[in-house]
């Protein structure tokens, strides 16, 4: 497995176009639309938010991806098209139809994702103009900045691509992701678009995507708020020359899943590190839990604790808050067994505090990546969760978002 930074364009046979059509900022000032296409229908799969309130683009993509094939994906930032009622669904359909008409393909081969503010009507005139421009100029895109076009409060674009060998054939998997706030447990989080030139059947692709999402994006929390628009989409166009991966039992499936997990994990960590206002990536490793699910529940509870996140922001080795969050998680633990390690230093043994070298801990906590290990010593369950610290800047960003 080797990495490169070509993102979506790593895999052979994909074209992208990014433009600024003026959705929430004046046209020309900020990229806000991305179109991805391939030459023929590709295997396609998607994972979506489990929030009861689903944005119209989520509902439409869920419907279109159910047949396992797609040829294009249109993504906009600047407006989530959520809570817009019947008009919202009609607008999402118009966007998809515009892409389909322009490309001369069936509408249900087009997927869609939107991100941005909730509850505002889409400015359809500029959006449809933008789609027309994207479709006609898709061969020409000079910028290759797909990851940039889907950013909202993100501060850096997030992309990653790798190549893997399956039976002596080189396969590329590339992806982009956005998401800095409203990032939270138990879902298919934020927006990520993945491409691969692997030859893989829709059912196997869907299984691989679920598996990869489960151990990457679903192990991520910025603020505990599950979005209305979370969407992960993948297209596999089969331009690589590997023998078709028909099922989860086929040769090559394990290698493909491992590659997809790698891409999704790198993107998930990039999202955590770029969480709204974040100054640090926190990597929470839970071991010794009753089960993997319980390990994840405990890790997520710690990741969502505002008290833990603010303490780490302040370089404060206040491990009592971590033990406290473990205790109120909905999972088995024994307070008298917990061993806690922060930045590689042991904080507690059997739940009791050990003597701290406070200046050393403060120095360790001032680094950009904070490893936290929680050993419950009651079973073999384990999970790794990624989150970020909570800073003044998080409050500033979110006290001023819609205006």
To its own copies, the closest distance from the beta carbon of 51 in angstroms equals 4
Shorter beta-carbon distance to its own copies: residue 81 or 192: 81
231 binds its own copies (CB under 8 A): no
| DSSP assignment letter at 9 | G
Please pick, among 152, 189, 228, 384, the residue that the annotation labels catalytic: 189
Tokens 């205006």, residue?
Answer: 403
306 binds its own copies (CB under 8 A): yes
Among 72, 176, 323, 343, binds its own copies (CB under 8 A): 323
- How does 317-347 read in b/e, with b if 16+ C-beta sit within 10 Å? bbbebbbbbbeebebebeeeebbbbbbebeb
The span from the CA of 22 to the CA of 9, in Å, is: 25
The span from the CA of 276 to the CA of 392, in Å, is: 10
333 binds its own copies (CB under 8 A): yes
Query: Exposure of 32 by Cβ count < 10 A (0-12 exposed, 13-18 middle, 19+ buried)?
Result: buried
Query: Exposure of 86 by Cβ count < 10 A (0-12 exposed, 13-18 middle, 19+ buried)?
Result: exposed
228 binds its own copies (CB under 8 A): yes
To its own copies, the closest distance from the beta carbon of 183 in angstroms equals 10
Query: How many residues of this chain interact with its own copies, rule: CB under 8 A?
Result: 65
118 binds its own copies (CB under 8 A): yes
Query: Exposure of 392 by Cβ count < 10 A (0-12 exposed, 13-18 middle, 19+ buried)?
Result: exposed
Cα dihedral 309, 311, 317, 322, rounded to 10, equals: -50
Among 39, 67, 85, 106, binds its own copies (CB under 8 A): 85
Is 189 known to be catalytic?
yes
Of 11-50, binders to its own copies (CB under 8 A) are 50
Q: Which stretch binds its own copies (CB under 8 A): 161-169, 250-258, 378-386, 392-400?
A: 392-400
Which H helix or E strand runs over 365?
helix 358-365
- x/- contact string, 275-304, with its own copies (CB under 8 A)? -----------------------------x
Residues of the shown chain interacting with its own copies in the complex, contacts defined by CB under 8 A: 50-54, 80, 82-85, 117-120, 181-182, 184, 187, 223-228, 304-307, 310-311, 313-314, 316-321, 323-328, 333-336, 348, 350-353, 390-392, 394-396, 398-403
């Amino acid at each position: 497995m080797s990495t490169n930074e070509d993102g979506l364009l790593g895999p052979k046979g994909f074209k992208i176009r990014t433009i600024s059509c003026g959705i929430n900022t004046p046209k020309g000032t900020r990229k806000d639309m991305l179109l991805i296409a391939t030459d023929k229908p590709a295997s396609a799969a998607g994972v979506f938010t489990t929030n009861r309130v689903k944005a119209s683009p989520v509902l439409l993509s869920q419907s279109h991806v159910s047949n396992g094939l797609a040829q294009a994906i249109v993504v906009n930032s600047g407006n989530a098209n959520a809570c817009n009622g019947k008009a919202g669904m009609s607008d999402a359909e118009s966007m998809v139809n515009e892409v389909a008409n322009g490309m001369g393909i069936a509408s249900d081969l087009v997927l869609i994702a939107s991100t941005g503010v909730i509850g505002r009507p889409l400015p359809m005139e500029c959006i449809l103009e933008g789609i027309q421009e994207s479709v006609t100029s898709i061969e020409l895109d000079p910028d290759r900045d797909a990851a940039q076009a889907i950013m909202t409060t993100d501060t850096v674009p997030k992309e990653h691509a790798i190549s893997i060998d399956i039976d002596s054939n080189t396969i590329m998997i590339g992806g982009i992701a956005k998401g800095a706030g409203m990032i939270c447990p138990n879902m298919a989080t934020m927006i990520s678009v993945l491409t691969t030139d692997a030859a893989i059947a829709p059912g196997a692709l869907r299984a691989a995507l679920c598996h990869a999402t489960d151990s990457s994006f679903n192990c991520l929390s910025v603020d505990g708020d599950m979005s209305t628009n979370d969407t992960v989409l993948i297209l596999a166009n089969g331009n690589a020359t590997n023998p078709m991966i028909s099922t989860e039992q086929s040769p090559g499936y394990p290698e493909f899943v491992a590659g997809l997990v790698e891409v999704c994990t790198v993107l998930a960590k990039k999202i955590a590190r770029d969480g709204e206002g974040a100054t640090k990536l926190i990597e929470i490793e839970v071991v010794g839990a009753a089960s993997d699910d319980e390990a994840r529940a405990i890790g997520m509870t710690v990741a969502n604790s505002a008290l833990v996140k603010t303490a780490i922001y302040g370089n404060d080795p206040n491990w009592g808050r971590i033990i406290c969050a473990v205790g109120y998680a909905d999972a088995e633990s024994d307070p008298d067994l917990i061993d806690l390690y922060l930045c590689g230093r042991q904080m507690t043994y059997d739940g009791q505090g050990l003597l701290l070298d406070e200046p050393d801990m403060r120095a360790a906590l001032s680094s950009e990546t904070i490893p936290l290990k929680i050993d419950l010593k009651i079973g073999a369950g384990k999970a790794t969760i990624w989150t970020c610290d909570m800073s003044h800047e998080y409050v500033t960003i979110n006290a001023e978002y819609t205006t």
